[in-house]
Amino acid sequence: MVKRKTCVFISGQGSNLKNLITHSRDNSFPIKISLIISNNKNANGIKYAKYYKIPYKYINSKLKNSEREILLLLKTYNITFICLAGYMKIISNKIVNGFKKKIINIHPSLLPKFKGLNTFERVLKSNEKKTGCTVHYVNNKLDDGSMIIKKIFYLKSKDNEITLKQKTQKLEHRAYPEAIIKIFRYR
C-alpha cells in the first residue's frame, strides 16, 4: 500500500494527533504523517511530533506571509492530504482550493448544528438530546464541507461541558481513523 503523505494541523492538546499517529504506524493504514503544523508554539501536541520524530513547524498565522510559508512547507514535504485536528484557524481559500477534497476536519458536534466555537456550551444550552462528532471535507465556509462520517451519543441529565468533551473525544478517536479509511477505500 502506498501511504499518502499527510500533514496534520494542530493548535492545542493533540489527542486527535496522537491517535492519528498511532493509527498511521499500522502498515494497512492509508496515511503517513510526514509533517505537523501548529499555529500555537505552546501547543501540547508538539510533544507528540518530537516524541515520534515527525517534522513540525510553528507558523504564526497572524503574519501576512504565513499562507505562503504553509504552502511552501506542504510542497517541500510532498504533502497530498491534510487533516485538521483541533486547528483553531480558518484555512485560507488558496490552500483549500489547492487541496480540493484532500483536507478533512473533525468537529465536536453533529454538523450542521453548532458550527464554530463553544460547541459544548451551546449543545447544553439548546437542551439537545444527542450530540457527537462529524468528520467532513473542508471547503471555503466554516464547518460546512460534505460529511464523511458522524458518531452519535445521547446526553444524560448529569452531563456538563467536561463530560461532553470527554465523551466526544472518545468518539472522535474512533471516527477520524474510520473516515480516513473510508476515503481511501474508494480512491
Nearest to 155 by CA among 170, 167, 143: 167
Q: What is the widest separation between alpha-carbon atoms in the chain?
A: 50
For residue 185, what pLDDT is reported?
Answer: 86
Q: Is 37 helix (H, G, I), strand (E, B) or coil?
A: strand
38 touches 69 (CB < 8 A) = no
pLDDT of the residue at 187: 56
Task: Give pLDDT, residue 1.
Answer: 72
CA-CA distance, 119 to 147, in Å (whole number)? 18
Q: How far is CA 62 from the centre of its chain?
A: 20
* pLDDT tens sequence across 7-66: 999 999 999 999 999 999 999 999 999 999 999 999 999 999 999 999 999 999 889 899
* Residues annotated as part of the active site: 107
Amino acid at 103: I
Closest CA to 6 of 144, 136, 184, 143: 184
Task: Report the pLDDT value the prediction gives residue 144, as an integer from 0 to 100.
Answer: 93
Average pLDDT value over all residues in the chain: 96
* Other residues' Cβ atoms within 10 Å of the Cβ of residue 145: 21
Please, which residues have CB within 8 angstroms of residue 145's CB and are 6 or more apart in sequence? 105, 136, 137, 138, 139
Q: Which residue has the cell 503544523?
A: 37
The answer to whether the CB of 32 falls within 8 A of the CB of 24 is: yes
Cα 10 to its chain centre, rounded Å, is 7
